[in-house]
Structures are given as C-alpha cells and as structure tokens.
Amino acid sequence: MWNPYLGQTRCIQPRNTFLSGDQYALGYDKNRKHKILRILGDCKSGYMVLGYEIFDLSANTWKVSNDNRDWQIDHYQRGVSLKGHTYFLAKEKIRIGGTNNNIDCILSFDFTTERFRKLLPLPFKSHYSNKLVLSCVREVQLAVLHQSFLIGQALEIWVTNKIDPGEVSWSKFLRFTSSCIGDIIPGSFFVDEEKKVVVVVDQDYNRWIVTGRNQSAHILGPDRYFKSVNIGETRYIGKRSKHGYMISELCRPRVCSSYVPSSVQLQTNQPVKSEESEN
C-alpha cells in the first residue's frame, strides 16, 4: 500500500499464494477504517471467481468469506471507489436451462457489512461486442463508457443520478459519433463536468509489438469536438497467449481520476492473522 500524500508505504502479505487472476480493491467502512478486498480468480477456468477475502488494516487480519456468488467479473475489469464502496462491472453466471444472456451489470462491495450487494442494471443492453469501462465523477457519481457496434460504433458516457444498495438511475452525459474516433481501446477515462468534456486514455492495439505501445489521451466534447494527445510509450507489461500474441486487456493504461489526498496513517507491519467468516 502507498499513501502518496504522506509518502508512506506498507507491505501486506497475502494469506496464501497469489493467483494470476486475483483482483484487489481498497475501501473503508462507516467508521472510516480502511480495508482491502481480494477477489480470488482462476485464469485456468476462464477467470472464474473462486472466492474473496478482506484484509482489515486496523486489526491486521485476513477474513475469508464463504458467500455463494451468482456473478463473475472479467479479469480485465478493475473496480472504482466511491464513498468507501468499490464498484465493478460484472455478469450474472450463465445457468443451464435458464434465461440469463450474460448481460453486464453493476456490482458493489460494502466494506461495512463486508458483503457484495445485489446486481444493479446498466442504462443499456450490453453484450460481448461492447467496450465497457467504469469510472467515477469527483467521488460523487459513477460513470460508464459504452461503445458498441449495435449503436453504430458510437461512444456513450453515462453518469448516475442516484445509486444506493437497491436502486440506480442514469443520465446520458455525452454521445460521440465522429468517424475520427477510430478504433479506441479505452483503458480508463474521466469526466470534467464543468467543461463538459471526457478524457479517454487509450493504447495502440498491435498484437505483435513486444517492447512498448503508444498511449494517447482523447478529449471528446460537445459539437463533435475531438483532440488527441500523445502521452508517450508504455513498456511491455502484458503476457503472450499460448498462440504467441499479446493479451491486450492486461495492458490497458490506467489513470486515477478521483484521487483525494488523505492524511490516514499507514500502520506499521505486524504479524498477519487469519480468520474464517461465519457468513
């Protein structure tokens, strides 16, 4: 862990061996106690979620949850933090003989109850051909980027009007249909409400490049405003698949659009304890 405001770092050991499909999220409960969520994933099973654990920084303990999970999170989807909770793009598990068609939803984790909440709908129908990225607006609203061939390859940005454990409502912030977008592979984005623009951080797609990739920031605004800024080359951080090409989803560039300086002290390392959850 790193607090850039105080320049403090802390090394936290896992309860057991890291898995290649693991995902992590940071949040806090109603008492402002920070915790880490570890989602255990198995890449050999299509990045199936095997379970999850919670690390309490104040108690210095790992807690293992035995909750049943009726959802899955793709390995390249990263959660965003909003008011202490972490939100993910997730899918309901496909049930044999059921009517589930693997449509994306919003899934949140509550660090007070240490439980996942129920799935909430997106403002559009989402299928495999879509590009979806989750972000937030000033620690106040969620935002989602949606690009699909089903909407004419247009790029849409939606933001929440309201979001709570049982309800969510959305409004469309921007729709961009200019042909100069090209084939954007968004890694992350953020919204500037005052200037009415969206900045999408992108990375060139070329499966044969090994040493580095070019990154760009695309600025999109009303009246088809578009500007692209080269922000340099990133080092190769992905992995080759068994067929010899790079898995692009593992290398998408990330930006932090909602960082707020924090004076929370990172406690010094102590022996880590583990306990099983009763849930």
pLDDT digits 0-9 by tens, 221-247: 988 888 888 877 765 555 565 656 555
* Token output for 79: 């959660």
Neighbour-count burial for 146-175, b at 16+ CB within 10 Å, e otherwise: bbbeeeeeebbbbbbeebeeeebebeebbe
Same domain for 89 and 7: yes
Report the predicted TM-score, pTM, of the whole model to 2 decimal places.
Answer: 0.80
Q: How confident is the model at residue 158, as a pLDDT?
A: 94
User: Are 77 and 189 found together in one domain?
Assistant: no
Which of 121, 142, 169 is a domain's end point? Answer: 121
Q: Is 263 within a domain?
A: no
Q: Are 247 and 161 found together in one domain?
A: yes
Burial class for 278, CB neighbours closer than 10 Å (0-12, 13-18, 19+)? exposed
Task: Please tell me the predicted confidence (pLDDT) of residue 65.
Answer: 84
Name the domain count of the chain.
2
One domain for residues 188 and 249: yes
Asked whether residue 271 is domain-assigned, the answer is no
pLDDT (tens digit, 9 = 90+) per residue, 146-169?
887 666 668 889 999 998 877 899
Judgement on whether residues 213 and 141 belong to the same structural domain of the protein: yes
Same domain, 218 and 243: yes
Q: What's the confidence (pLDDT) of residue 272?
A: 59
Let me know whether 137 and 254 are in one domain: yes
Name residues of the chain where pLDDT drops below 70: 42-48, 68, 93-102, 127-129, 149-153, 178-186, 204-213, 234-261, 267-279
pLDDT at residue number 249: 46
Q: Does 134 lie in the same domain as 117?
A: no
Q: What is the residue range of 193's domain?
A: 129-258
Task: Indicate whether 276 belongs to any domain.
Answer: no
Spatial distance between the Cα atoms of 261 and 238, rounded to a whole number of angstroms:
30
Based on the fold, state whether residues 91 and 165 are members of the same structural domain. no
The predicted pLDDT at position 29 comes to 92
